[in-house]
Structure 1
Amino acid sequence: MDFQTEEQIQHRMEELRLEHRDLDDVIARLLEEAPFDQLQVQRLKKRKLLLKDEMARLEAMLIPDIIA
């Protein structure tokens, strides 16, 4: 995905934060049920990690490079 403006990056980051939060809720609900599908929980947790990685990448795009 190619972003042109800081505003687009911020918008995408907000979408990712929302999805990350939603996954937290889904995982918590699944873990409350006994028995729960361990494979499904693992997949959701992996998705959360991917979202976190993408958020970190986008955040790095917002921070200007500083030459020391």
Structure 2
Amino acid sequence: MEQPHVSALQLKKKGLEDRIEQEMSRPAPDFAQIQLLKKRKLRIKEELAHI
């Protein structure tokens, strides 16, 4: 696949990792939001694995 597409997916994955970490560090994390972010991250990870 194209390198720009891979780079874009990697950037999205990193952004989701940062958002998950930020949410986890809050005094009262929103676990529903964390689950949603983790699912999005997993989809991107799976897409990267198939490239």
Q: TM-score, normalised by structure 1?
A: 0.71
CA-atom RMSD, angstroms? 0.9
Query: What is the number of residues matched between the two proteins?
Result: 51
Runs of 4+ in 1 over 3 A off after TM superposition: none
2:14 is aligned with 1:21 = yes
Alignment of 1:32-47 (within 5 A): 32-47=25-40
Deviations 1:28-49 (A, max 9, x none): 1100001111000000001000
* Stretches of structure 2 lacking an aligned partner (at least 5 in a row): none
Q: Letter of the 1:51 partner, please give it.
A: I
Task: Give the percent of matched residue pairs that are identical in Structure 1 and Structure 2.
Answer: 35
**Larger C-alpha radius of gyration, 1 or 2?**
1
